[in-house]
Amino acid sequence: MIKIDKLTKIFETPNGPVTAADHIEMEVPSGEICVLLGPSGCGKTTTLKMVNRIIPATSGKIYLGGEDTSGMDTVTLRRNIGYVIQQIGLFPNMTISENIAVVPKLLGWDKARYMTRAKELLEMVALDPSIFLNRYPNELSGGQQQRIGVARALAADPPVMLMDEPFGAIDPINREVIQDEFLKMQQELNKTIMFVSHDIDEAVKMADRIAIFRDGHLVQYDTPDDLLAHPKDDFVKNFVGDDRALKRLRLVTAESVMQTTFAYVKPNDTLAEALTKIDAYGYRDAVILVNDLHQPIGYVPKATAINMKGYCGEHYVGLKTIARTTDDLRKVASKMFTHDIVWMPCVDENGRLVGEVTQRGITHYLGATYQRDTSPSQPQPLHQAKEAS
């Protein structure tokens, strides 16, 4: 857990004092990723760097795991905090294994232990130890270097990590890959992480909580979904973007919006039975057809069920696409737009039908949180007029 209490930094400049961080108060619960977000010069990096005293705080306190850090000496404090920076900062004079083993060596581990650890970490960041252990940083691509940077920060297994725009210098394709890998690692490692970013999409993807900074102030500290759904003021609104409702799609999986009570037919059912089910469930268009393994293979349109006779297995239309329970809604919506459909079956990891996702279901789910904004005291039409202008 990281707790920041009235943390303030005032820089003395030739033009007078500048307050880079003004009484910042926040708490990052254990095992969560907190993204500090904001435009340049908003104080997010200053706040991060005060935690490991790269920038000394003017006033205020920082607690790690409940312990006040102001009593610790700087070197001990830093060795207990993983630190990843945008420029990566691998030491060019050391091989990859030496770079990863730097902190363990400082802590006095024996050679066998830190070499094993280096191999373990290389595997964890998806690089082959037999190839990379003895290479030098300048022989690696930017993405590989930053993986090593993360591995180095993790070497001594610190409970807390600070990451200063760690993926900022990596091309967009590799950035996505590294972000995904990092999230996967974090699921096992459960580090408490402070992460500086200026990219709202990265923040939404990585964060359990987002802290928005402006001019040295912490403007809003919320979960990504609350931040996107309920931006506190115009600054936050602008910062998270006009498409903030769309960004929320990424935060929700198909599983949470799918309907689990639904009708389906089997190939051996007659079309009459299909029509009964369509009517019973009030479907407008069609009913899903599953095979013997309970995997969706198509659908029987209502018109077919009405006009034709025979078995469902003979008169179905093939499925254009399906959703997986683990897909986020952005992917689901994208599939809907691609195939011009308003619903699709949702399957588990074995491809078995477990529910159906509908456009209405999605909008209903996303819209639910806005209900709390609609209180009688707020003159709704005025609000809408403001939005429109």
Partner 1 sequence: MTNQLKQTYYFVLLACVFALGVYLQGAGTIDDFLYYQEDIVYLTVQHIELVLLSGGLAILIAIPVGVLLSRPRFQKVAESAMQVLNVGTTIPTLAILALAMSFLGIGTVPAVFGLTIASLLPIVRNTYIGLKEVPAHLKEAASGIGMTELQMLFQVEIPNALFVIFAGIRTALAVNVGTVPLAFLIGGGGLGELIFTGIDLDEPIMMLAGAIPTAMLAIAIDSVVGAVSYVTVPKGCNPIRARQ
Note the residues at the interface with partner 1 (CB under 8 A).
Answer: 52, 54, 74-80, 83, 85, 87-95, 102-103, 106, 136-138, 152-153, 162
Minimum CB–partner distance for residue 41 and partner 1 (Å): 19
Nearest approach in angstroms of CB 50 to partner 1 is 12
Say how far apart CA 83 and CA 74 lie, in whole Å. 14
Select 54 or 297, whichever has its Cβ closest to partner 1. Answer: 54
217: Cβ contacts below 8 Å, ≥ 6 apart: 22, 24, 43
- Dihedral angle at the C-alpha atoms of 282, 286, 292, 293, nearest 10 degrees? -90
CB of 178 to partner 1, least distance (A): 18
**Min separation Cβ 48 and partner 1, Å:** 11
State the minimum distance, in angstroms, from the CB of residue 177 to partner 1.
23
Nearer Cβ to partner 1 (90/288): 90
As a whole number of angstroms, the distance between CA 388 and CA 10 comes to: 40
Residue 68: phi and psi, rounded to 5, are -70, 125
Cα dist. 285→257, 322, 323, 341 in Å?
Answer: 20, 17, 19, 11
Residue 119's nearest CA partner among 148, 94, 90, 139 is: 148
Q: How far is the CB of 124 from partner 1 (least distance, A)?
A: 18
Closer to partner 1 by CB, 14 or 92: give it. 92
Considering the complex, state which of residue 74 and residue 326 has its C-beta at the smaller distance from partner 1: 74
Residue among 321, 318, 309 at smallest CA distance from 269: 309
Could you tell me the smallest distance in angstroms from the CB atom of residue 136 to partner 1?
3
Closer to partner 1 by CB, 79 or 230: give it. Answer: 79
Query: Strand, coil or helix: what is 298?
Result: strand
Under a CB-based contact definition with an 8 Å cutoff, are residues 369 and 229 in contact? yes
Residue at 76: amino acid letter: T
Alpha carbons 328 and 132: distance in angstroms, whole number: 34
The smaller minimum CB distance to partner 1, of residues 63 and 136, is found at 136
By beta-carbon proximity to partner 1, the closer residue of 48 and 322 is 48
Distance between CA 150 and CA 79 in Å, rounded? 14
Q: What is the closest distance, in whole angstroms, from the C-beta atom of residue 3 to partner 1 in the complex? A: 21
Nearer to partner 1, 98 or 222 (CB): 98
Nearest to 36 by CA among 46, 44, 47: 44
Q: Which two tokens stand for residue 31?
A: 């095992």
Cβ distance to partner 1 smaller for residue 107 or 303: 107
Q: Whole-number minimum distance, CB 113 to partner 1, in Å?
A: 18
- Count of CB atoms situated within 10 Å of the CB of 95: 17
